[in-house]
Amino acid sequence: MERKKASYLEGAVSIIVNICLFALKYWAGIVSGSIALMADAWHSLSDSISSVVVILGAKLASKKPDKDHPFGHGRWELVSSIIIAIILVLIAFGFITDAISHLKTRESANFGTLAIVITVVSIVVKELLAQYAFFLGKKSGSSTVKADGWHHRTDALSSLVILIGILFKDYFWWIDGALGIAVSMMLMYAAYHILMESVNKILGEDPDEDLIQEIQKLISSLYDFDIYPHHFHMHNYISSKELTFHIKIENHLSVEEGHAIATAIEELIDEKLSIISTIHLEPIDYAHKDD
């Protein structure tokens, strides 16, 4: 599935469902006077906001390469994921402030059957949304859709924490304020997870060992003599990936023969792995400082 289509589909479903959940949770929060439920309602609404970011990010990322951006605009997905993380941090900070205020004034909530039913519904619906986002993210390879899935998952977990708190409401007056802080910390953790994944991709990562082994197998399928690939570097532009690495070949081979070998490997990697590669040739006895 295309990243753009997956982002649009997941984003649209998320927006509709989360607006409905926001209305239900906020209503239950007002009726019960629960800061935790109202915070959880805003958590659901923030999912709609992040889904709008997902759709806008997909729109920008789908733009074709141009003169100023020869590698395309795929990294807009990463920028979108960072924006989602920032939204989560801001919302979490607001929740913590409100929760502390309630604890200072010793305010307690009056949970009832309505709060329990809506919380259970929220847990089930949000986990289903998370699984749906993870499925589309895996199928399309979209980091932004996966990030939105984590947002749904944290909302389901925060609702689960609130449900547990409701069951113990008669024993602890401070349970609502404590739950508000707990929900906020979950939001902070989700923001950290999303932020680090996106930042690491922007900064650049080494190719994983499975990819290197796959490339070595492809090279072995082409030639029955020794070729030594090394110094792998991956440049991930999300919509496209570019790989550079070195190969050591026998000294007696001509420039033309070496070029033919490198070109054949590059074409096979593009065909099998959809990765554009650039190969640097070296004589077999050449030694790098870090070899």
Beta-ladder partners of 278 = 244
Does 228 lie in the same domain as 170?
no
Coil, helix or strand at residue 96: helix
Structural domain includes residue 289 = no
Does 90 lie in the same domain as 15?
yes
Residue 266 burial (CB < 10 Å; 0-12/13-18/19+)?
middle
Does 239 lie in the same domain as 123?
no
User: Mean pLDDT highest for which of 59-68, 235-244, 247-256?
Assistant: 247-256
Residue 62, domain extent:
3-203
Reported confidence tier of residue 211, pLDDT bands at 50, 70, 90: confident
CB of 53 within 8 A of CB of 136?
A: no
Mean of pLDDT values over 176-198: 79
Structural domain includes residue 288 = no
Does 221 lie in the same domain as 157?
no
Among 7-16, 49-58, 111-120, whose mean pLDDT is lowest?
49-58
| pLDDT confidence of residue 107 | 64
Domain CATH number, residue 241: 3.30.70.1350
CA angle 212, 217, 222 (to 5 degrees): 125
Among 96-110, 179-193, 197-211, 246-260, whose mean pLDDT is lowest?
96-110
CB of 282 within 8 A of CB of 248?
A: yes
Does 263 lie in the same domain as 184?
no
**CA–CA separation, 91 vs 88, rounded Å?**
5
| pLDDT confidence of residue 187 | 75
Does 135 lie in the same domain as 70?
yes
Model confidence pLDDT, tens digit, residues 45-69: 776 766 676 677 667 667 777 777 7
Does 180 lie in the same domain as 112?
yes
- Give how many domains the chain has, as a whole number: 2
Does 278 lie in the same domain as 157?
no
Picking from 174, 146, 5, the residue whose alpha carbon sits closest to that of residue 80 is 146
User: Mean pLDDT highest for which of 152-156, 215-219, 248-252, 284-288?
Assistant: 215-219
| pLDDT confidence of residue 71 | 66
Does 158 lie in the same domain as 18?
yes
Beta-ladder partners of 280 = 246
Percent of the chain with pLDDT over 70: 85
Place of tokens 């409100």: 98
Picking from 190, 128, 117, the residue whose alpha carbon sits closest to that of residue 158 is 190
User: Mean pLDDT highest for which of 96-110, 114-128, 257-271, 272-286?
Assistant: 257-271
Place of tokens 């915070």: 39
Structural domain includes residue 291 = no
Q: How many CB atoms lie within 10 A of CB 152?
A: 28
| pLDDT confidence of residue 16 | 87
| pLDDT confidence of residue 1 | 55
| pLDDT confidence of residue 263 | 92
Reported confidence tier of residue 265, pLDDT bands at 50, 70, 90: very high
Does 175 lie in the same domain as 50?
yes
Picking from 39, 18, 28, the residue whose alpha carbon sits closest to that of residue 182 is 39
Does 76 lie in the same domain as 190?
yes
Percent of the chain with pLDDT over 90: 5
Residue 43 burial (CB < 10 Å; 0-12/13-18/19+)?
buried
Coil, helix or strand at residue 230: strand
